[in-house]
Amino acid sequence: MAASDSKRPRTDMAAAQAHGDIVKEIFYGTDIPAPSTLKASKVTVVGVGQVGMACAFAILSQQVVKELVLADVMEDKLSGEVMDLQHAGAFLPAKISKAGADYKETANSDVVIITAGVRQQIGETRLSLVERNLAVFKGIVPKLVQQSPNVIFLVVSNPVDILTYVTWKLSGLPPNRVVGSGTYLDSSRFRTMLADKIGVNPQSVHGWIIGEHGDSSVPVWSGVNVAGVPLAPMLEHADNGDEWRSIHTQVVKAAYKVIELKGYTNWAIGAAVAQLVRTILHNEHRVVPVSTIVNGCYGVDKDVCLSLPCILDRNGVTRRLHMVLSDDEQASFRKSAESIWAVQAALKF
């Protein structure tokens, strides 16, 4: 062996150590779950309302599953939706079936998407809405875990951050396997509105909404860029800086506007959920803003679920990115956590 070869292992060890240090700076947490035994085959959608069916159709259209199971307590509507999709068997090659009240047909699902839940009534408090949905989830989640102990839950029902926490508590699963759709759609709206103002394709704009999927969400203006060109310095000196920053307000109000016009939102969240399912089943290791436990991040000291950029793959959330946030952004993130905890702390399991 040459002398230079004998020194190589020590150099490699130093390089590995340096790599480890860099990784610690980038990510929260260092434990990566063991490789999953999941196969990209079966997905269950619980709830066949407007959102559930948009999710189902988007997943089928992208042909990411071999089998799709739909579940709902409204048996006639469930049967009709399943039959309608089955009639497209020549175009949508996946097997499509329905689940009964015991959820046996959902057995061995790789991913279960929960869109079920009750709607907020006029004058109803947020806590009351959450408590009623907690009762619904108590009747759903344990049965689903019994049928699919290796499942990854993807929670879409609102308020999604609190119901992601509820699902985690009721399922007994490790937190990486319970994911909320969170601010994935919010971030898409943010990028789309920025792109429209700048005059470029939304895929060329890189920007994140983190925190709550709701009124206390946090736009990370310090990280917005187009092809690596940061937007923040321009906003500091722009005469219309407030006009740019109002884009976040438009993002927050976007769903309300759609609901005002058509009564509900479904297509955009359906497309977002289908992308998340593809990311999981294809083991893409894609970085996406989804809702997960954030205790220990940016000074948060409670078990609350909020959105941060996370690596998503067949193990669920395997890492949370440690974004470099401004002091104001960190404070807003903690405030978002506090608003969630104010409601969540009153829940009784």
Residue 161: name the closest of 295, 271, 277, 307 by CA: 307
Exposure on the CB side of residue 82, measured as CA atoms within 13 A:
22
Is 248 assigned a catalytic role?
A: no
Write out the E strands in the chain: 27-28, 42-46, 67-71, 95-98, 111-114, 152-155, 178-180, 205-206, 209-210, 218-219, 225-226, 229-230, 286-293, 305-313, 316-321
- Enter the tokens of residue 303: 């078990």
235 vs 221: CA distance, rounded Å: 9
Task: Give me the amino acid identity at 199.
Answer: G
**Catalytic-labelled residue, pool 19, 87, 206, 213:** 213
289 vs 329: CA distance, rounded Å: 16
55 vs 116: CA distance, rounded Å: 12
2 three-state secondary structure: coil
Sign of CA dihedral 134, 137, 143, 145: negative
159 vs 18: CA distance, rounded Å: 41
| Cis status, amide bond into 159, omega within 30 of 0 | yes
Cβ-contact 171, 143 below 8 angstroms: no
Cβ-contact 333, 220 below 8 angstroms: no
Q: Which residues are catalytic?
A: 213
